[in-house]
Structure 1
Amino acid sequence: MTITELETSRVSAAKQALQAAVEHLRGLQSDRGWWKGELETNVTMDAEDLLLREFLGIRTASETEEAARWIRSQQRSDGTWANFFGGPGDLSTTAEAWIALRLAGDSPHEPHMAKAAEFVVSNGGLEHSRVFTRIWLALFGLWSWDDLPTLPPEMIFLPSWFPLNPYDFACWARQTIVPLTIVGTLRPCRPVPFGVAELLSGSPRPRLDAPWTWAGAFQRLDKVLYAYGKLPVHPGRTLAMRKAAEWIVARQEADGSWGGIQPPWVYSLLALHLLGYSLDHPVVKAGLKGLDGFIIREDTPDGVVRRLEACQSPVWDTALALTGMLDAGVAADDPAVVRAADWLLGEEIDIRGDWAVKRPKLAPGGWAFEFANDLYPDTDDTSEIVLALRRIAHPDRDRLDAAVRRGVDWLAGMQSKDGGWGAFDADNTREVPRKLPFCDFGEVIDPPSADVTAHIVEMFGALGRGSDEVCRRGVRWLVDAQEPDGSWFGRWGSNYVYGTGAAVPALISAGVSPSASAIRRAVRWLEEHQNPDGGWGEDMRSYKDRSLAGRGDSTASQTAWALMALLAADERTSTVDRGVDWLCATQLDSGTWDEPQFTGTGFPGDFYINYHLYRIVFPLSALGRYVSRGSS
């Protein structure tokens, strides 16, 4: 074939792939207009769900059997459970799965249990598990509360300017920590009829760090707080717990959740229960009922399995699906497109949330991540929704434009002082919370990130406002945040491929020339990290091992991210051609792509997500933009 014939054939293949993908995506849309793919995480969700129900006295045999069946199905041949597909066994996740299976009646002598215990012990035992794992153990008398870090409920009194006040923590962390101050103060114990000797290594406690280090200073402060907790009188403690309870109740969402995510949800229920809220209390009752909406039950050859989603992403998924459909050439007034836009317009948030603590004069606007998440709109969702809505031929254009305007104004007001954007809060950058002994799992602050900042910069550029000072500050932040090798770190997706795939289109949208140094360095990095098969992939371990940056099995979503960056930079090379060929060749007959790999991130280095719609919405955008460029 000639070069022209090859290009024509490739464009034709891409169009066929787009048609099949669009039809598949249409079939996934709700009658109400939204899309929602499963949000897959790891079995700690299911283990902790059983433990919560055990503690509350509501665990049933059928729930236990179905959840245990799911947990067993996720165990690997080496006896471990991982935090993401293909990842290494995780000590704490394996320990929690083992404990949940003991609740379900599995004997510690069964081979699968013995192998799990062997792994835990060989990796330091429960003594080296994360704090949250040991809190669950302490609830059942399997660990001493004396050996856990202390957080006093009196922190609820601290003003927002004082170090270690609740608003120094990211929204997901503050909503978890406030109820845990109650749980840790009351120190409940409801014993279970088994022990965990099989998971103990007998290793000594680690020595304290040097007192002049942050870690050492907080370790010693923890001992002071522990001593305070042992005093017979604690002025203000009862008032603190009552105020903390009021704070918790005020933040319950309409669906009964807290933040729409598992950690603050379960700990809020525990805290309120311990303070005397009955299971029939409207707040607790709504919380438990809401959890049922996050349960997925599925028939398998071995029987029904039951698993719990850590959160749900309908608003985010719908925005990305809309953009993918429009990029694929679906008409802007297509009924499915308009129906999705109607649903999104109905999800606009018009009330104040915790974000207003730092931005008290800013009018509400924007969108959140979930069905009921009104107290925590986020900048990432809002920017992606604006990018989609602006392209839709909606019959009520005035309504749409007004919602977009409010969202854009809110985003401008949420810019941090340094020019970047965090996901949920502005200027949530104080480093002190990271140093607490309590915070050994997951990110606990919400500083600006390259991917979020990029999406917002791209939005301003798409609206023709690339010269606005708010956008120019974002561009400068992005340029300064570029890694020495030309990539960008991805906070909410894996990882450097995600960050780079977001930053390049953003800079181009804001008016940066494709020939600019930042763009050329990014293109070179993407070219150097293309896999031999033509795709791109990045293992989640790149968050801890920089040598894995941009390295991993090719996936549809990550290949699409790389292609969107290269297409934005107007690259017309074999690198792009090979990436398009890979997507076309790996598409399933159903129109989607197979992607067991996790490419979404909750906490870098600790908690990962497989968004089940990523495998289709991003390839739609990449192939659609490729075809559109070829026909322009």
Structure 2
Amino acid sequence: MGRSAAPPDPREALARATDHLLALQNADGWWKGDLETNVTMDAEDLLLRQFLGIREPEQTAASAAWIRSQQRADGTWATFHDGPPELSATVEAYVALKLAGDDPEAPHMAAASAYVRAAGGIAAARVFTRIWLALFGWWPWERLPEMPPEIMFLPRWVPLNIYAFGCWARQTIVPLTVVSAHRPVRPGPFDLTELHTDPADPYPLRPLSPIAGWDGLFERLDKVLHAYHHVAARPLRRAALAKAGRWIVERQEADGCWGGIQPPAVYSLIALQLLGYDLDHPVMKAGLDSFDRFTVHTEDGRRWMEACQSPVWDTCLATIALRDAGLPADHPALASAVGWMLDEEITTPGDWAVRRPRLAPGGWAFEFENDNYPDVDDTAEVVLALRRVTHPEQSRLDGAVERAVEWTLGMQSRNGAWGAFDVNNTSTLPNKLPFCDFGEVVDPPSADVTAHMVEMLAEVGRAEDPRTKRGVAWLLANQEADGSWFGRWGTNYIYGTGSVLPALVAAGLPTDHPAVRHAVGWLESRQNQDGGWGEDMRSYADPATWSGRGESTASQTAWALMALLAAGEGLSDGSSAAVERGVAWLAATQLPSGTWDEPQFTGTGFPWDFSINYHLYRLVFPVTALGRYLHRTPLGGGPK
């Protein structure tokens, strides 16, 4: 009888992963993994180029090839790996392929249109999809919710002023007010009769909701705004459009993009052209050129678009991971990363200053060029990374950390917690507008961001600060009944719990605290039979079924391990069965190259509505978890 193969050694797995991660570093010091979302990015890129009259055959063919490659056997497209069919994504993908010349009678196109009709047709698609179709005469502007540019004049104390929306939403809504005011139609080269459930009544009216609720109230307000569109005073409308145009131009980033994300960029370009900017204008040229940096070209000739890019986020996480893996604090790769991060510090005010005008700036954003929108989450994690590396310019590093700490403390919301981009951005009214059916449009405090802040404040010696204690109290008060925490920016309860437990322990909560033990019990109950952890995006829509449930993934297994290790599980004698099984799963599923296969989406843009596959998550988080397990260090720390 032959001997059974020895189980994979986690030390070897960590060494391979560390080497692989180091090899991915850019010569300038940063890391950036691809950021994968869904085919609406690619479809809308083609539609934008069609609207502007700049769509080119080679570009179209490469994008169409990618879109076809993402279609499933039933003819539909989803918004995350193995997700359910998504109507709006399928409509947009179908239209893009028809633009590319695909025959509507071809099997893949016929299957897609059949699904669209069965799901309610174009009339059931989201507002943003119907806006794209209205640009080409495929949907009437009168059948879309109205958002007038006069919203620009609402003072900040009035509900539904533009600063009541989260930064990503206001960056999208302002240009769309311009588009809505102009209602342009550049007739498409074909019709879309096959996407209507009843071609004789292609634009059915939706029944009004009862007037007693917010939905009914806003639907009736929308009718008033539609009437106003036809009688708006021309001088007032011109002034509103001019104000919106200035607002858009002032917020163009140094790389030509807006907000560092695709939706504001495409709508800003359309809005500015409608306001008279020609394609040769420097603002327009820079905006269009920015898309080249968001384009990923595959080896087989396909082309797909990132919705945004994450170099700051990826770099700070990689730095933390490599320190946890055992790299010395003065390792050249880490010094290079810190030098790059210090150069990326933002010391000028952005949109956040509208609510905090006296707060001194100091923080980091997500992207290469995103200075208008630094965020608390990136800033907290960058500080954690900086604190763990020694650097020749130590005084510069210390100054950046001090500015970041003061800025993020000033961004604390009144309930003691932190949102990502704004302070007290908690109104529920924007989400109820008929126009806003594209995902979360406000930025309330969340457990994951608050946890990262608490962990950072503890690291810099502020655990006893009353503001830190308020953050801890908020986290304890917002623990779910089952012991987990909700994950706003990662999927989902595993991410939330994986963020909160290390933060609470770092802030001084004992590992035998009831909240900690409750969370440990929840994590152990969610471990898969194979030893890993996974959570499907459907947990946002159906937490009762999917909370902490899904195929095992490397990133989510690592989050669970980071939480369990922080809680003291398996650190002293390795006796935690859950930890040992999780580590064994990571070691056994590692690819020969040193990374892990992870087609599942574990990042979140808007819960349920917009999902992200961060291609570096599958590497940086396992490196962190394996490093903390092997070195018996449940949390990060200062330079050693």
Same fold (TM over 0.5): yes
Q: d(CA) in 2 for partners of 1:630 and 1:237?
A: 61
Aligned to 2:502: 505
Aligned to 1:244: 244
Matches within 5 A, 1:167-316: 167-202=163-198, 204-231=204-231, 233-300=233-300, 304-316=301-313
Matches within 5 A, 1:367-382: 367-382=364-379
Q: Deviations over 1:45-100 (max 9, x none)?
A: 00000000000000000000100011001101000000001101100000000000
Name the SS for the 1:610 alignment partner. Answer: strand
Q: d(CA) in 2 for partners of 1:510 and 1:156?
A: 42
Aligned to 1:587: 590
Q: d(CA) in 1 for partners of 2:509 and 2:85?
A: 43
Q: Which of 417, 420, 436 is the equivalent residue of 1:439?
A: 436
Q: d(CA) in 2 for partners of 1:631 and 1:462?
A: 13
Contact 2:143 2:205 in 1 (8 A): no
Q: d(CA) in 2 for partners of 1:631 and 1:50?
A: 47
1:562 equivalenced with 2:565 (yes/no): no
Q: Deviations over 1:473-517 (max 9, x none)?
A: 100110111100100000000000000000100100100111111
Give 1:630 deviation, angstroms: 7.9
Q: Deviations over 1:365-407 (max 9, x none)?
A: 0100000000000000000000010010111111111101100
1:37 equivalenced with 2:33 (yes/no): yes
Matches within 5 A, 1:1-16: 13-16=9-12
Q: d(CA) in 1 for partners of 2:185 and 2:494?
A: 46
Aligned to 1:539: 536
1:610 equivalenced with 2:608 (yes/no): no
Inter-CA distance 366–631: structure 2 relative to 1 (3 Å threshold):
closer
Give 1:234 deviation, angstroms: 3.9
Contact 2:208 2:216 in 1 (8 A): yes
Letter in 1 for 2:420: A
Q: d(CA) in 1 for partners of 2:126 and 2:407?
A: 37
Matches within 5 A, 1:413-424: 413-424=410-421
Q: d(CA) in 2 for partners of 1:154 and 1:250?
A: 18
Letter in 1 for 2:378: D
Matches within 5 A, 1:338-357: 338-357=335-354
Q: d(CA) in 1 for partners of 2:92 and 2:596?
A: 32
Contact 1:433 1:445 in 2 (8 A): yes
Name the SS for the 1:629 alignment partner. Answer: coil
1:77 equivalenced with 2:80 (yes/no): no
Matches within 5 A, 1:96-175: 96-175=92-171
1:62 equivalenced with 2:58 (yes/no): yes
Matches within 5 A, 1:373-392: 373-392=370-389
Aligned to 2:18: 22
Aligned to 1:3: none
Q: d(CA) in 2 for partners of 1:212 and 1:156?
A: 28
Task: Output the aligned Cα RMSD.
Answer: 1.4
Contact 1:40 1:309 in 2 (8 A): yes
Amino-acid identity (%):
63
Q: Which of 78, 82, 92 is the equivalent residue of 2:88?
A: 92
1:550 equivalenced with 2:548 (yes/no): yes
Give 1:211 deviation, angstroms: 0.8
Q: d(CA) in 2 for partners of 1:631 and 1:211?
A: 54
Give 1:207 deviation, angstroms: 1.1
Q: d(CA) in 1 for partners of 2:232 and 2:442?
A: 34
Inter-CA distance 10–328: structure 2 relative to 1 (3 Å threshold):
farther
Give 1:205 deviation, angstroms: 3.1
Aligned to 2:573: none
Inter-CA distance 576–192: structure 2 relative to 1 (3 Å threshold):
same
Q: Deviations over 1:501-548 (max 9, x none)?
A: 001001001001111111011000000000000000000011001120
Q: Deviations over 1:121-169 (max 9, x none)?
A: 1111111000000000000000000000001100101111111100000
Name the SS for the 1:46 alignment partner. Answer: helix
Contact 1:170 1:444 in 2 (8 A): yes
Name the SS for the 2:624 alignment partner. Answer: helix
Contact 1:258 1:264 in 2 (8 A): yes
Q: d(CA) in 2 for partners of 1:336 and 1:210?
A: 61
Q: Deviations over 1:269-295 (max 9, x none)?
A: 000001110001111110001111111
Contact 1:295 1:306 in 2 (8 A): yes
1:628 equivalenced with 2:640 (yes/no): no
In structure 1, list runs of 5 or more residues that go unmatched: 1-8
Q: d(CA) in 2 for partners of 1:235 and 1:223?
A: 22
Q: Which of 405, 409, 425 is the equivalent residue of 1:428?
A: 425
Q: d(CA) in 2 for partners of 1:518 and 1:413?
A: 28
Give 1:556 deviation, angstroms: 0.2
Q: d(CA) in 2 for partners of 1:222 and 1:205?
A: 13
Contact 2:8 2:587 in 1 (8 A): no
Contact 1:259 1:373 in 2 (8 A): yes
Letter in 2 for 1:13: D
TM-score under structure 2 length normalisation: 0.96
Letter in 1 for 2:621: F
1:466 equivalenced with 2:469 (yes/no): no
Contact 1:259 1:265 in 2 (8 A): yes
Give 1:204 deviation, angstroms: 4.3
Deviates more, 1:32-41 or 1:157-166: 157-166
Name the SS for the 2:612 alignment partner. Answer: strand
Q: d(CA) in 2 for partners of 1:605 and 1:392?
A: 37
Letter in 1 for 2:457: F
Name the SS for the 1:236 alignment partner. Answer: helix
Inter-CA distance 241–596: structure 2 relative to 1 (3 Å threshold):
same
Q: d(CA) in 1 for partners of 2:487 and 2:196?
A: 36
1:490 equivalenced with 2:487 (yes/no): yes
Q: d(CA) in 1 for partners of 2:446 and 2:333?
A: 33
Name the SS for the 2:297 alignment partner. Answer: strand
Name the SS for the 2:104 alignment partner. Answer: coil
Aligned to 1:334: 331
Q: d(CA) in 2 for partners of 1:183 and 1:467?
A: 50
Inter-CA distance 486–265: structure 2 relative to 1 (3 Å threshold):
same
Q: Deviations over 1:383-439 (max 9, x none)?
A: 000001001011111111110110011010000000110000011011110110000
Contact 1:10 1:581 in 2 (8 A): no
Letter in 1 for 2:158: F
Contact 1:394 1:400 in 2 (8 A): yes
Give the ranges of 4+ consecutive aligned residues of structure 1 lying more than 6 Å apart after TM superposition: 9-12
Give 1:233 deviation, angstroms: 3.6
Give 1:16 deviation, angstroms: 1.1
1:320 equivalenced with 2:323 (yes/no): no
Name the SS for the 1:404 alignment partner. Answer: helix
Give 1:12 deviation, angstroms: 8.8
In structure 2, list runs of 5 or more residues that go unmatched: 571-575, 636-640
Letter in 2 for 1:48: E
Contact 1:11 1:630 in 2 (8 A): no
Name the SS for the 1:307 alignment partner. Answer: strand
Contact 1:11 1:627 in 2 (8 A): no
